[in-house]
Amino acid sequence: MSFPFIERDAEPVPCITLVGMAGAGKSTLGRALAVRLGWGQLDTDQHMEAYYGLSLQRIMDLYGLDEFLRIEGHLVSQLGLTRTVVSTGGSVIYSQSAMNRLKELGPVVLLDIDEQTFLDRVGDGGNRGLAIPPGKSLSDLYNQRQPLYRAAADIVVRTDCHTPEACVDSILEHIDFA
């Protein structure tokens, strides 16, 4: 069976990357945004799980926090994509090389939620593969990451105040190549 050759875009179409806390809607909105645009969608947590054939929690348990973050940063920094909505793991913000690569691929959108929404949606965080240092609370994690997300973001969209459809509309209003 042969497949037809499809020309790539003469000028690569930028990607859109979604960052934010666990529970902010990166996977859900990533899928919805990709469908609306007719683009691909990559969830970096799923990419990492597929690469290792293990759940995020199992990777964390086997390798520990520092190695988990190194692995995540390396895999994301190697992405070569176009016309793709990238839904990141919340801890990608700790890797400068990964964030540099994501910024090269296109705009970075912070899906913002308040601390209480984060705590309500994540619960105790069990089995989510949360990259949280020993002895730190979920509130500590939230407060540590928020300034990093804001510094990296080209666009900020509140996802705890609007429907997923309204959030997709808001993102597209701010993206001039979409």
Please state the pTM of the whole predicted model. 0.91
Q: Amino acid identity of 154?
A: D
CATH number where 25 lies: 3.40.50.300
Q: Amino acid identity of 116?
A: Q
More confident residue, 9 or 56: 56
Buried b / exposed e along 89-127 (16+ C-beta atoms within 10 A): bbbbbbbeebbebbeebbbbbbbbbeeebbbeebeebee
- The answer to whether residue 11 sits within a structural domain is no
In tens, the pLDDT along 65-74 reads 999 999 999 9
**Number of structural domains, the chain?**
1
Q: pLDDT above 90 covers what percent of the chain?
A: 79
More confident residue, 155 or 11: 155
Determine the distance from the C-alpha atom of residue 51 to the mean position of all C-alpha atoms in its chain, rounded to a whole number. 17
> What per-residue confidence (pLDDT) applies to 59?
93
> What per-residue confidence (pLDDT) applies to 8?
64
Mean pLDDT of 9-13: 71
Return d(Cα 131, Cα 21) in angstroms, integer.
11
Return d(Cα 166, Cα 80) in angstroms, integer.
29
More confident residue, 57 or 128: 57
DSSP single-letter state for residue 127? T
Answer yes or no: are the C-beta atoms of 74 and 13 closer than 8 Å: no
- The answer to whether residue 70 sits within a structural domain is yes
Query: Between the CA of residue 95 and those of 11, 35, 83, 86, 145, what are the distances in Å?
Result: 28, 28, 23, 16, 12
- The answer to whether residue 6 sits within a structural domain is no
- The answer to whether residue 111 sits within a structural domain is yes
Which domain, by its residues, includes 114? 16-174
- The answer to whether residue 4 sits within a structural domain is no
- The answer to whether residue 141 sits within a structural domain is yes
- The answer to whether residue 26 sits within a structural domain is yes
- The answer to whether residue 154 sits within a structural domain is yes
